[in-house]
Copies of this chain bind each other. A is one copy, B any other.
Amino acid sequence: MTRPLSVAVAGLGTVGVGVLRLLRDNADVVAARAGRPIAVTAVSARDRARDRGVPLGGLRWYEDAVAMAADPAVDVVVEVIGGADGPARMLVESALAARKPVVTANKAMLAVHGAELAALAEEAGVPLAFEAAVAGGIPVIKALREGLAGNRITRIAGILNGTCNYILTRMRDEGREFTEVLGDAQRLGYAEADPSFDIDGVDAAHKLAILAALAFGRPVAFDAVHVEGIRQVSALDIGFAADLGYRIKLLGIAQASTAGIEARVHPCLVPSAAPLARVDGVYNAVVTEGDFVGRVMLEGRGAGAGPTASAVVADLVDLARGRTTPVWGAAAGALSAAPSVPIDAHVGCYYLRLMVVDRPGVIADVTAVLRDLGVSLESMLQRGRAPGEAVPVVLVTHETPESAMREALRRIGALDAVLEAPVVIRIEPG
């Protein structure tokens, strides 16, 4: 057996400690699979005094992660500090410049700066690995870049944020509203004190940007991802969706068309029988459609110390074995130049829910707007009657251009029998 792979870990939060624990607890299986031991030899974090529940004795301690990366006894740098910029980015850039392989769990950094970082890694001729950046322990990066490498991918769709999926699952199971369930999730540690990064879809968008780049073999393009979160999802709409045979999920979806690549994160109505509809709670899942392989789904825990450490160590085992892959799956010169398609060009089916005054002629006015814009209806649903008062009305459309839907919403919202801003949710096959 050759000498151990010497690993420096920058960041001793949940994930960093998880990596230390995994490499200690499973040292035997890791060494067998890696062909050599993998040993953490140096760590860097802000507060040396804090008890993290793992022994740090014998490890070199650095205040400065950049100095740690320069340590000639370090073979690989693991970056689990987090944040798109600041110390994480500085560390990764300096490590790559010094020709040190980097393993990171940092989805924000890869989504925002991934193109430049890939160029740095390619120039230095060293790997930048990031299995842990998307969907925690699910080996989805490896599946897309390697396992499905023979396929022209046509579509990828995923449940990429466990917090949102947990909240939506509880809302459905308990018939409760978003703000109540969010509060519970915060108390239980499934949502952050400031939850906006998760519930506004930004975290899922970071991950989708990475998956879309890998699936379609092109440079990452976070700014081109259309993002909506789950704050507007109500118990009422979850109930109507169920009546219609759907569940509401926050999905990240990227798909190829002749015009280019469409990438979007938003709540979706998904048929109850679709595989993604059945992925509940904190689980993540990614469905990939390839021209030869057909539909492949991967499902597992998308976050947490254990799953994320599992992904980081998989990357370390690859490095120990000398298995490397270009950051975006191909060398910069071999990437696709397919353009991004804006959400306005989207065509799909829509769920539309209105609160209208229950009086004759209202439905006729609403459907006239849709007819004038060429929007055809698949079904309509009205629950309860309350003459003269507000009642919800649900309309489901056939395939419709997003632009026509926007104009329909504008005109319908202006009808005086329509009492609240209409709610619209896109329908996806899952």
Contacts and interface: CB of A to CB of B under 8 A. Distances in A.
Interface string A67-98: 00000000000000000000000000000000
B331 A35 contact: yes
A309 B150 CA distance: 8
Given A26-B151, A296-B301, 13 more contacts: A29-B150, A32-B217, A33-B330, A137-B290, A137-B294, A139-B143, A139-B147, A146-B314, A149-B317, A150-B310, A291-B306, A292-B310, A292-B313
Given A146-B314, A149-B313, A330-B32, A26 B291 contact: yes
Given A143-B139, A147-B143, A217 B29 contact: yes
Contacts of A296: 137-139, 298-301
Contacts of A143: 139, 142-143, 147
Interface residues of A, number: 65
24 contacts: A22-B292, A26-B150, A26-B292, A30-B150, A31-B334, A32-B335, A32-B336, A33-B329, A33-B330, A35-B326, A143-B143, A146-B323, A149-B313, A150-B309, A275-B278, A278-B278, A291-B306, A292-B309, A295-B300, A296-B298, A296-B301, A297-B297, A298-B298, A321-B325
Nearest to A299: B297
Interface string A104-124: 000000000000000000000
A294 B310 CA distance: 9
A307 B293 contact: yes
A428 interface: no
Determine which residue in A278, A296, A331 has the highest number of CB atoms from chain B within 10 A of its CB, and name it: A296
A131 interface: yes
Interface of A: 1, 18, 22, 25-26, 29-35, 131, 136-139, 142-143, 145-152, 217, 275, 278, 290-301, 306-307, 309-314, 316-318, 321-326, 329-331, 334-336
A390 to B, nearest CB: 37
A104 to B, nearest CB: 16
* A-B complex: 7 closest residue pairs judged by Cβ atoms: A139-B147, A150-B313, A137-B293, A296-B300, A32-B330, A293-B310, A32-B334
B142 A146 contact: yes
